[in-house]
């Protein structure tokens, strides 16, 4: 009830929830109370959780914050959310996001932008919460839920977490089932939690993760007790610092924060080593070929026949065209155009195949660092703090907007676990995050190191 009344009060301004499931929340909470009374409490009993609108929730609004999915209520539940409910968590509602998870500012949502609960000390200007999981991050930061589900294809968990002083972890590709999550770029998409602290993230990820026969890319490895990793010493751990992440134009404050993180870990007994990830400079270009290519294929299913919106036309082809013209926003259309272009005969080898090859090289950079004994890699999470809503330079130049993902996309390309931990405030009082990158399926080391940083 406390969370529901807080949502009632604050959501008008923050716009984090696009649907509040109050009746369902009360019903689930009552079932929790009963289990507790019977001494049968489950690990997340009664914990109120918000769900990114990308997760299919049975009989509940699921639109990936797109107009084209108007009115869609899936007849099934995603595996990740089913895992949470099986563990006793309570659903508060569906959270705002960039349309189909395409964006870095949560401004491409059909439901309007999310407002970051944080403000700069010297300005009243509304700031973005980051994206695409902007609703998840803002809801957690404003205490409109205890934790939220999110997804990350190129940074959409880690960047909003960094902009809102929350913790976000994108686990290893294959750790969480993608079944029932609206697909953006299937070889990159992963679910993970956004929470207020590292312990909550450890608890929530444990519940979300599972092998699942319904997702052939989910991996059958035991899910460890991540919470047990907290408080373990980082003494002797080798932390890699990649020189290629010292990008031109990075604000001095971010560079300084990175140095602080290095010092904290060294003081805690970790060994700091310089490493090189030489293909980092191709990561953004490669990502913005691979992700749109997969998106253009995944989004072909929204044709006015199967789901949501239908805008009539004189024949079926015109109906498709009218539906897709009206149903998709500008950024989604841009991605579909880029994707179909790089996959088209004549350009396929030059762009798509080449990007796949570079993707392998990016992954190999990480493999070599880990083979040389590095346990985790420390970088800034983002090249800036949260920026203003409707920033004209970013909106007139999509490539500038894509630069937000410069530190995060490599992790998805290599399928590795990555985490953003709040590490301090800049001189205007805005949160900044540090990113930890780990070996495949070694989220435990990230939790262990993150707990020292937070």
- Which SS3 state, helix, strand or coil, does residue 253 take? helix
Nearer to ligand GLN, 7 or 97 (CB): 97
Among positions 99, 152, 253, 443, the unique one binding ligand GLN when judged by CB under 6 A: 152
Concatenating the DSSP letter of every residue in 95-146 gives E--SGGG--SSS-S-TT-PPPPS---TT----B---SSSHHHHHHHHTTSSS
Least CB distance to ligand GLN at residue 37 (A): 41
Binding residue for ligand GLN, selected from 101, 162, 290, 413, defined by CB under 6 A: 101
Tell me the C-alpha distance between 322 and 312, whole Å.
7
Residue 253 beta carbon to ligand GLN: minimum distance, rounded to whole angstroms: 22
DSSP assignments along 275-315, one per residue: E--GGGGGHHHHHHHHHHHHHHHHGGG-SSSSSS-----SS
Could you tell me how many residues of this chain bind ligand GLN (CB under 6 A)?
A: 13
Which structure tokens are listed for 242?
């990649």
Task: Compare residues 291 and 394 and give the one whose CB is closer to ligand GLN.
Answer: 291
Q: Find the binding residues for ligand GLN in span 182-201 (CB under 6 A).
A: 184
Q: Which of 253, 405, 426, 444 binds ligand GLN (CB under 6 A)?
A: 405
Name the minimum Å distance from CB 257 to ligand GLN.
21
Tell me if 291 contacts ligand GLN by CB under 6 A. yes
* Least CB distance to ligand GLN at residue 114 (A): 14
Integer angstrom CA distances of residue 322 from 227, 333, 334, 338, 394: 50, 13, 17, 20, 29
Structure tokens belonging to residue 36:
């507790």
Please identify, using beta-carbon distances, which residue of 184 and 352 lies nearer to ligand GLN.
184
| Beta carbon of residue 318, minimum distance to ligand GLN (angstroms, whole number) | 30
332 binds ligand GLN (CB under 6 A): no
Q: Which of 153, 164, 210, 445 binds ligand GLN (CB under 6 A)?
A: 153
Name the minimum Å distance from CB 398 to ligand GLN.
Answer: 9
Q: Which is nearer to ligand GLN, 375 or 405 (CB)?
A: 405
> For residue 298, how many other CB atoms are within 10 A of its CB?
18
Q: What residue number has its CB nearest to ligand GLN? A: 156
CB under 8 A, 24+ apart: contacts of 210-216? 210/79, 210/83, 210/176, 210/177, 211/177, 212/79, 212/177, 212/179, 214/79, 214/177, 214/179, 214/180, 215/79, 215/177, 215/178, 215/179
* Span from 36-44, 152-160, 202-210, 249-257 in contact with ligand GLN (CB under 6 A): 152-160
Q: Is 132 in the site for ligand GLN (CB under 6 A)?
A: yes
Active site residues: 52, 132, 156
In this chain, which stretch among 148-156, 274-282, 349-357, 367-375 interacts with ligand GLN, using CB under 6 A? 148-156
Please identify, using beta-carbon distances, which residue of 264 and 282 lies nearer to ligand GLN: 282
Spatial CA neighbour of 101 closest among 442, 418, 412: 412
102 is a site residue for ligand GLN (CB under 6 A): yes
Sheet containing 167-170, strands listed edge to edge, beginning at the edge strand earlier in sequence? 17-20, 90-95, 48-52, 147-152, 190-195, 167-170, 418-425, 431-438, 376-380, 238-242, 271-275
Residue 154 DSSP code: S
Site residues (vs ligand GLN, CB under 6 A)? 101-104, 132, 152-156, 184, 291, 405
């Amino acid at each position: 009830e406390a969370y529901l009344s807080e949502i009632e009060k604050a959501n008008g301004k923050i716009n984090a929830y696009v649907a509040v499931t109050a009746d369902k929340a009360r019903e689930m909470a009552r079932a929790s109370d009963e289990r507790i009374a019977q001494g049968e409490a489950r690990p997340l009993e009664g914990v109120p959780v918000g769900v990114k609108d990308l997760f299919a929730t049975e009989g509940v609004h699921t639109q990936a914050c797109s107009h084209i999915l108007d009115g869609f209520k899936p007849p099934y539940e995603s595996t990740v959310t089913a895992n949470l409910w099986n563990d006793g968590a309570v659903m508060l509602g569906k959270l705002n996001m960039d349309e189909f998870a395409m964006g870095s500012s949560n401004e491409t949502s059909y439901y309007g932008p999310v407002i970051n609960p944080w403000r700069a000390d010297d300005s009243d200007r509304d700031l973005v919460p980051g994206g695409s999981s902007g609703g998840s991050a803002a809801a957690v930061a404003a205490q409109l839920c205890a934790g939220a589900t999110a997804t990350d294809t190129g940074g959409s968990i880690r960047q909003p977490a960094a902009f809102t002083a929350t913790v976000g972890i994108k686990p290893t590709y294959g750790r969480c089932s993608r079944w029932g999550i609206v697909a953006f770029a299937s070889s990159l998409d992963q679910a993970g939690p956004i929470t207020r602290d590292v312990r909550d993230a450890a608890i929530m990820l444990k519940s979300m993760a599972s092998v699942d026969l319904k997702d052939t890319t989910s991996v059958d490895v035991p899910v460890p007790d991540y919470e047990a990793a907290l408080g373990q010493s980082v003494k002797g751990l080798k932390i890699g610092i990649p020189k290629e992440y010292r990008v031109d134009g990075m604000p001095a404050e971010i560079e300084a924060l990175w140095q602080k993180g290095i010092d904290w870990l060294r003081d805690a007994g970790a060994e700091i080593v310089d490493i090189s990830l030489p293909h980092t400079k191709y990561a953004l270009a490669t990502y913005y070929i691979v992700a749109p290519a997969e998106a253009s294929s995944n989004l072909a299913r929204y044709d006015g026949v199967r789901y949501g919106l239908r805008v009539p036309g004189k024949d079926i082809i015109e109906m498709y065209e009218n539906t897709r013209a009206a149903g998709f926003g500008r950024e989604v259309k841009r991605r579909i155009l880029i994707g179909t272009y790089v996959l088209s005969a004549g350009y396929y080898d030059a762009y798509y195949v080449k990007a796949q090859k570079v993707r392998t090289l990016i992954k190999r950079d990480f493999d070599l660092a880990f083979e040389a004994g590095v346990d985790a890699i420390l970088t800034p999470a983002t090249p800036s703090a949260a920026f203003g809503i409707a920033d004209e330079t970013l909106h007139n130049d999509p490539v500038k907007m894509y630069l937000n993902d410069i530190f995060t996309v490599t992790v998805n390309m290599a399928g590795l676990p990555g985490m953003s931990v709040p590490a301090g405030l800049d001189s205007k009082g805005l949160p900044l995050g540090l990113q930890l990158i780990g070996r495949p399926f070694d989220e435990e080391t990230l939790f262990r190191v993150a707990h020292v940083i937070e």
